[in-house]
Structure 1
Amino acid sequence: MSATVESSRKLSTTERRPSMAERRPSMPAGRRPSVIPHLAGIEEPALPTTPDQCDVLICGTGLVESVLAAALSWQGSNVLHVDSNPYYGDTSSTLTIEQIKAWCHNVNINTAGFRGYSKALLYIPRPDQLNSRDYSIDLTPRVMFARSDLLSLLLKSRVYRYLEFQSLSSFHTFENDSFGKMSSSKEEIFTDQSLSLETKRHLMKFMKLVLESDSPKSVKELEAYKTTPFTEFIEAKYKLTPAQVNELCFTLGLSPIPNILTPEGLSRIRRYLTSFSVYGTFPVLYSKFGGPGEISQGFCRSAAVAGATYKLDSQLQSYDSKKKIATFTDGSTVKVTERLVCSPSQAPANAENVPDKQYEITRLITIVSKSCKEWFSEGESAAVVVFPPNSLPSANAFPVQVIIMGSGSGCCPNGQCIWYLSTVEKGDKARHDLETALLKLEESILRESEDGGFDVDLTDDDVVVRPDGNVSVINSVKLGKSFKEFVPKEKLTFLFKLMFTQFTSVEPFGVVNENIFKNALNQGSENSVDHEVLYSNMPSAEVSYDGIVTEAKLLYTSIVGSDDDFFDVDFEDDDEDPLAGTQNDSAIVDEDDEEFKDEMDFEL
């Protein structure tokens, strides 16, 4: 290892984010401890030697691998879980600024343990204005729908007790050079004066179809459209405008591709609608202090409770499948009695059976010196913004998806915001699309902020107050003219920019399909003489957590033979109120809580 790489690793080791045990609010007096203890100290394991033997060796502490480690450990397997990095998360990491610097350096010189990434470009114009540990930056940002298999698993496994969740209800679509907030509830649709009565009737009929799409009558009706593009189906059958089609398909459905089919599109809209009002007036949650990196660490702590052994800064050098001996770069070895599971990013330098890099995801992450509160709902600190296909001057063929995280998310200081942009477009075109979208975001926040200098003479006839208290402009002619004449009084200050390309063997999907992950997993095993090694996949383009549990179960089945006892753990119920001792905006409750609601009741 070169001196430069060694110094980068040392930098990442000494510079670390506060552990979950350090961040977790103190337990109120009188409450009994959770079944799973806090495990303070797991964030910095210090094993002097590698164990002589284990049942399953897992290389990489990404989200899928961490879920798998916990499931196997609770099932009774002796798990050794290692990572070549000095921190948890691997491809799902949540990093500080200094860790990001080291990560970029390792990616660009192709260091072992950083496979699956390329062309990491980092720009920090004002390093003196950034305190590294004040930031939690996700390599793979995601949001969680209130009805999802991962959220169910967090509740079942009690891992949610290690985490803090917050709500997200603001979904914006870029159109006509501005961002519009989607009308997604019955109340919003009925009171939206920008919609005609006929359009409202069509939207309500469509939403009724979505919620009844699995009924025998609807299944028969939709049979003729199963190969029809979703956008064509809703535009033709429900007479909706292209703007409304974009809002449904790409903003509420969060489809990463334009050619999604009708059954998949309906499923994605249903995911949103049935998640709305489950735990509150929002469909989506996110983990405070970081996304997948926090959840990965939570499952690692659960695995440690069940007996898994952890060792960081341990790079797999080789694996002898005949002797079942794994050798690490520090010279230590371990005998693996059952299987080796390896993240593609952690594969040995000479490994030939790593899943193919068929698909690309290009990401642009920026930190701006602005609160961006104009994009958030009251009491929230995050939002989703989507640029549908062909909505940018760059003529983007694929959507550009943006997750906005404000200071209330615990990821950046007050008065700042982190923007995560991504697209499945390839090559230089992807980077051009992201830069163009970034420019539009900058223009928009300057235009919409109180001190941005935007001034338009609107009367009561030009605006409408929405149910959530926000004001929508309905005189688009006056607004559009003012936009063209707008000259901002300030410029947006960018404190940090990171752009990189990530590869994956998982195709952009419409809905979670087990075969998608089976095909990706089989690329590594079927073409290899070494059938004892299982490769997980690099993260997909999906901005939700859909697919994580599916892939973990497939790996689990490959090792155990069945997923019947996947997290089949009889946790002792201590009757704690899951919301007690947490912040008011925390949104997690047990599934049998009286606040758990059925699907929204849409009526014409």
Structure 2
Amino acid sequence: MDEEYDVIVLGTGLKECILSGLLSVDRLKVLHMDRNDYYGGESASLNLNQLWKKFRSSSSPPTHLGSSRDYNVDMSPKFMMANGALVRVLIHTDVTKYLYFKAVDGSYVYNKGKIHKVPTTDMEALKSPLMGIFEKRRARKFFIYVQEYLETDPKTHDGLDLTRITAKELFTKYGLDDNTVDFIGHALALYRDDRYLCEPALETVKRIKLCAESLARFQGGSPYIYPLYGLGELPQAFSRLSAVYGGTYMLNKPDCKVTFDEEGKANGVTSEGETARCKKVVCDPSYLPNKVKKVGKVSRAICIMSHPIPNTNDSQSVQIILPQKQLGRKSDMYVFCCSHSHNVAPKGKYIAFVSTEAETDQPEKELQPGLNLLGAVDEMFFDTYDIYEPVNEPSLDNCFISKSYDATTHFETTVQDVLAMYTQITGKVLDLSVDLSAASAAEE
């Protein structure tokens, strides 16, 4: 403890672990502490006994669910886009050597009361029951435009300047109806509300391209991948990486308190009467509650089932996005399901999450549209948690605070936060131009 560090990181949540790994690779001297005696913080993976302890403190799990240690239930379950920023970070830091990934079977969208596979290419659009025959042709033309679009080659722009026209204007040019726009914006481009429609179309086209390229990568049924044994493996992989580069880890350090100098700048962390000095502090919102504000709340249900989700082609792992408009809500709802195929449950058992940004105080009622898709459920836990984001100015207090995890079941928003924090801390932009094939060996 009694040393000087460049950075002290508090909390071993996923964001904090990625940052301590990146900063260690940059040869900064990092100390990483957590008040808990386990890795993962809010993004930990729990076995069955831990899950029962968290949600039903008195009883123990019924025997018919199988062995506790066969379960790895992620508290913030999210799939990764196969070509997305998180996979690039994993390759950039060489963490892929500690992890094994497997493609996710299915990606679905809820439309007019039913779920449909998400079409991501022009050929899939032609087969999709989401659209009528004329709409399919228009959607196919749009997908071909997106697939062929290259920012650096004006010949592929069809005379459109995507930095000047809005996403809505682009969709209108291709004559796409509201339903098609709904699944493209929410299930392919992964926007969480409709504000993007009034913003320049370039970002939307890039996001759809990322989705299509990710799908092509593993030739699977979805653009997503997920680590075997769940996301709890990620914080541990990044902590190994940090240790390789000389980072120091201390779990089970109670009452970690950030200390400040007379100018209000963070200059160390105390725990159990000892103080470690530092130039910068990185932490999750729980370590500096007076420097964050509550911006929302997530409602979720965690379900254990004995069958795959109906109408998903028996997918062993699947994401379903329920766009806000389809539900008459302000925000989307997400369904996540995983099973033995990713080693997160025993054979024959499935873990499903339904999550959304809370708009009421009744998660049981609010989550009903997602729960209705699951079929019979063996056990169900309801939970709500608050979302915080920082209100401090890091250049004045040297405190870099991550945002809480949102309701999405994919990683794109999480990684944006991490990359922005990395730039704030180091003044550099992380170079993510990597050889993506470095992670493909891990697909099985």
TM-score class, shorter-chain normalisation, is 0.7 to 0.9
* Unaligned segments of structure 2, at least 5 residues: none
Q: Which residue of 1 aligns with 2:336?
A: 403
8 Å CA contact 1:84–1:346 kept in 2: the answer is no
8 Å CA contact 1:71–1:567 kept in 2: the answer is no
**Alignment partners' CA distance in 2, 1:543 and 1:391:** 18
Which of the residues 522, 543, 548 maps onto 2:409? 543
State the AA in 2 paired with 1:266.
Answer: V
**Alignment partners' CA distance in 2, 1:124 and 1:171:** 36
State the AA in 2 paired with 1:68.
Answer: L
Q: Which residue of 2 aligns with 1:199?
A: 135
Q: Which residue of 1 aligns with 2:281?
A: 340
1:100 aligns with 2:51: yes
Q: Compared with structure 1, are the counterparts of its residues 531 and 233 closer, same or farther at alpha carbon in structure 2 (3 Å cutoff)?
A: same
Q: Which residue of 1 aligns with 2:25?
A: 74
**Alignment partners' CA distance in 2, 1:556 and 1:252:** 27
Q: SS in structure 2 opposite 1:539? A: coil
Q: Deviations over 1:464-521 (max 9, x none)?
A: xxxxxxxxxxxxxxxxxxxxxxxxxxxx24223232223132xxxxxxxxxxxxxx5x
Q: Which residue of 2 aligns with 1:470?
A: none
Q: SS in structure 2 opposite 1:357? A: strand
Q: Deviations over 1:266-323 (max 9, x none)?
A: 34322212322123344211112112x3222211110011111111111344233229
Q: How many angstroms does 1:439 deviate by?
A: 2.4
8 Å CA contact 2:11–2:33 kept in 1: the answer is yes
**Alignment partners' CA distance in 1, 2:9 and 2:95:** 20
8 Å CA contact 1:123–1:496 kept in 2: the answer is no
Q: SS in structure 2 opposite 1:276? A: helix
**Alignment partners' CA distance in 2, 1:335 and 1:579:** 40
8 Å CA contact 2:354–2:367 kept in 1: the answer is yes
User: Which has more strand, going by share of residues?
Assistant: 2
Q: Compared with structure 1, are the counterparts of its residues 410 and 536 closer, same or farther at alpha carbon in structure 2 (3 Å cutoff)?
A: same
Q: Compared with structure 1, are the counterparts of its residues 260 and 441 closer, same or farther at alpha carbon in structure 2 (3 Å cutoff)?
A: farther
**Alignment partners' CA distance in 2, 1:567 and 1:182:** 27
The alignment's TM-score, normalised by the length of structure 2, stands at 0.84
**Alignment partners' CA distance in 2, 1:171 and 1:325:** 45
State the AA in 1 paired with 2:312.
Answer: W
Q: SS in structure 1 opposite 2:102? A: strand
Q: Which residue of 2 aligns with 1:494?
A: 378
Q: How many angstroms does 1:233 deviate by?
A: 5.7
Q: How many angstroms does 1:376 deviate by?
A: 4.7
Q: How many angstroms does 1:542 deviate by?
A: 4.1
RMSD value, Cα: 3.4
**Alignment partners' CA distance in 1, 2:120 and 2:210:** 13
Q: Which residue of 1 aligns with 2:320?
A: 385
Which of the residues 97, 103, 125 maps onto 1:189? 125
8 Å CA contact 1:258–1:398 kept in 2: the answer is no
8 Å CA contact 1:365–1:419 kept in 2: the answer is yes
**Alignment partners' CA distance in 2, 1:152 and 1:312:** 28
Residues 58-207 of structure 1: pairs in structure 2 closer than 5 A: 58-103=9-54, 127-130=62-65, 131-191=67-127, 196-207=132-143
1:210 aligns with 2:153: no
Residues 302-451 of structure 1: pairs in structure 2 closer than 5 A: 302-322=241-261, 324-328=267-271, 331-347=272-288, 351-353=289-291, 355-372=292-309, 375-376=312-313, 381-392=316-327, 395-428=328-361, 431-442=364-375
1:296 aligns with 2:247: no
**Alignment partners' CA distance in 2, 1:194 and 1:72:** 45
Q: How many angstroms does 1:76 deviate by?
A: 2.3
Q: How many angstroms does 1:202 deviate by?
A: 0.3
Q: How many angstroms does 1:241 deviate by?
A: 4.2
Q: How many angstroms does 1:543 deviate by?
A: 3.1
State the AA in 1 paired with 2:428.
Answer: S
**Alignment partners' CA distance in 2, 1:58 and 1:279:** 35
Q: Compared with structure 1, are the counterparts of its residues 424 and 186 closer, same or farther at alpha carbon in structure 2 (3 Å cutoff)?
A: same
Structure showing greater radius of gyration is: 1
Q: Deviations over 1:239-289 (max 9, x none)?
A: 444433332222223322244325254343222123221233442111121
State the AA in 2 paired with 1:318.
Answer: K
Q: How many angstroms does 1:134 deviate by?
A: 2.0
Q: Which residue of 1 aligns with 2:225?
A: 285
Residues 481-520 of structure 1: pairs in structure 2 closer than 5 A: 492-505=376-389, 520=390
8 Å CA contact 1:60–1:83 kept in 2: the answer is yes
State the AA in 2 paired with 1:80.
Answer: L
8 Å CA contact 1:123–1:498 kept in 2: the answer is no
Which stretch shows the higher mean deviation, 275-284 or 183-192?
A: 183-192
8 Å CA contact 2:258–2:269 kept in 1: the answer is yes
Q: Deviations over 1:77-105 (max 9, x none)?
A: 2211011111111122112233334545x
Q: How many angstroms does 1:138 deviate by?
A: 1.3
The alignment's TM-score, normalised by the length of structure 1, stands at 0.63
Q: Compared with structure 1, are the counterparts of its residues 358 and 72 closer, same or farther at alpha carbon in structure 2 (3 Å cutoff)?
A: same
8 Å CA contact 2:85–2:432 kept in 1: the answer is no
Q: Deviations over 1:131-181 (max 9, x none)?
A: 332211112111111221221121222211111111125222223432222
Q: SS in structure 1 opposite 2:361? A: helix
Q: Compared with structure 1, are the counterparts of its residues 381 and 178 closer, same or farther at alpha carbon in structure 2 (3 Å cutoff)?
A: same
**Alignment partners' CA distance in 1, 2:158 and 2:383:** 44
Q: SS in structure 2 opposite 1:544? A: coil
Q: Compared with structure 1, are the counterparts of its residues 578 and 356 closer, same or farther at alpha carbon in structure 2 (3 Å cutoff)?
A: closer
Q: Compared with structure 1, are the counterparts of its residues 164 and 123 closer, same or farther at alpha carbon in structure 2 (3 Å cutoff)?
A: farther
**Alignment partners' CA distance in 1, 2:433 and 2:180:** 43
8 Å CA contact 2:35–2:252 kept in 1: the answer is yes
**Alignment partners' CA distance in 2, 1:76 and 1:267:** 33
**Alignment partners' CA distance in 2, 1:59 and 1:245:** 41
**Alignment partners' CA distance in 1, 2:362 and 2:326:** 15
State the AA in 2 paired with 1:289.
Answer: Y
Q: How many residues align?
A: 430
Which of the residues 54, 77, 86 maps onto 2:5? 54
